[in-house]
Structure 1
Amino acid sequence: MVTKTDWLDAGLKVLADEGSLALTIERLTTELGLSKGSYYHHFKGTGGFRTALLEHFEGKFTTRLIDAVERRPEADASTKLTELMNLVLADPDSVRLEIAVRAWALQDPEARAAQERVDHARTAYLQALCRGIGSVKEPDHLAKLLYLILIGAEQIVPPVPAAELRALYGTTLSLATGAPFLI
């Protein structure tokens, strides 16, 4: 039996591959090989699906990552930052999805609000981590810079490969902390 999460994961795949205009009932039922009845069992129409999809994106690509890092509350901020960056860089397929959600946010107020929540949560968490690294002079600026490096690296064509992005993060953090920082 197909679950609500299966529908949402299929929606994220369609969104990443084809953009927000492809998020139709017909496209999703084709993707999963199911009937519209199964779709309506889980969602109250397209609006309900899109709301749930944005929440799923936020949970899977923001909240889940923060929660994974915070499973080790005793770890210092540098260790947590390294772990977070490794988690982010471990999923190269998420780049297309991130681009698709940002494009959708330019056209849809609900997607824009979700993107704003995601950006705020991510930068706030990065700020908290950077504030915990004692040698950083401008931790809030560093946090924004780290996030902007990721967003920019995803937006250029082709996107910056994870290995190069890892090196850019290492260089940035070494410059900011005055000490070698390996990601």
Structure 2
Amino acid sequence: MSKRDWLDAGFAVLAEDGARALTVERLCADLGLTKGSFYHHFRGMSGYRTDLLEHFETEYTGRYIAEAERVDAPARDKLARLRSVILADHETEHALEIAMRAWAMQDPEVYQLHQRVDQRRVDYVESLLRDVGEYCDESEPLARLLYLALIGAQQVIPPLPAQDIAEMYAFVLRMATKKEE
């Protein structure tokens, strides 16, 4: 069992039952492993938590950005690629995002992580919008609007399907490029 397997198991616990359920005992039970295996990879629950938060940032922000940047392409194509990668994971990821935000409201370390993650995500989208060139001085509020739409789509019950979010993004981007009459 790898360290990543333990971290992914933590994401599953968070998504299913929230931060309170995240214990060594629960992780061991879910994975069918002993505490010795846990302590082989982590220095207690505190070390696990730190690694889990880093893994969240890497997996659910860094990986998306890296995937969009993987090819040398115009910003518009990178923006479309980013949207596709995010929406492909949307159905499975929304419960984790909700759990992480709930945890952030209870824990200052998680709050700081999520604040950094949110800012990094918005900054990246803004840089792509700015590079597209059609959004002029409105790239920052447009990036925030697109990001808030995603977060809101995850929060409504039931969460919006990925196709609906993609259509909403296309609509917002079309409206942002219309010239005032």
Please give the secondary structure, in 2, of the residue aligned with 1:90.
Answer: helix
Alignment length (residue pairs) = 177
Whether the aligned pair in 2 keeps the contact of 1:78 and 1:129 (CA below 8 Å) is yes
Instruction: State how 1:116-135 maps to structure 2 within 5 Å.
Output: 116-135=115-134
Aligned-residue offset at 1:71 = 1.2
Q: CA RMSD in A?
A: 1.1
Alignment of 1:48 onto 2:47? yes
> Which ranges in structure 1 are unaligned for 5 or more consecutive residues?
none
| TM-score w.r.t. length of structure 2 | 0.95
Amino acid at match of 1:142: L
Amino acid at match of 1:79: D
Residue-by-residue CA offset, 1:72-114 (whole Å, 9 max, x unaligned): 1x31111111100010000111000000000000000111111
Aligned-residue offset at 1:135 = 1.4
Q: Which residue of 2 aligns with 1:79?
A: 77
Percent sequence identity is 51
Whether the aligned pair in 2 keeps the contact of 1:136 and 1:176 (CA below 8 Å) is yes
> Which ranges in structure 2 are unaligned for 5 or more consecutive residues?
none
Whether the aligned pair in 2 keeps the contact of 1:12 and 1:97 (CA below 8 Å) is yes
Higher helix share: 2
Whether the aligned pair in 2 keeps the contact of 1:135 and 1:178 (CA below 8 Å) is no
Q: CA separation in 1, counterparts of 2:97 and 2:132?
A: 28
Q: CA separation in 1, counterparts of 2:178 and 2:41?
A: 52
Shift >3 Å, 4+ stretches: none
Please give the secondary structure, in 1, of the residue aligned with 2:132.
Answer: coil
Q: CA separation in 2, counterparts of 1:39 and 1:117?
A: 28
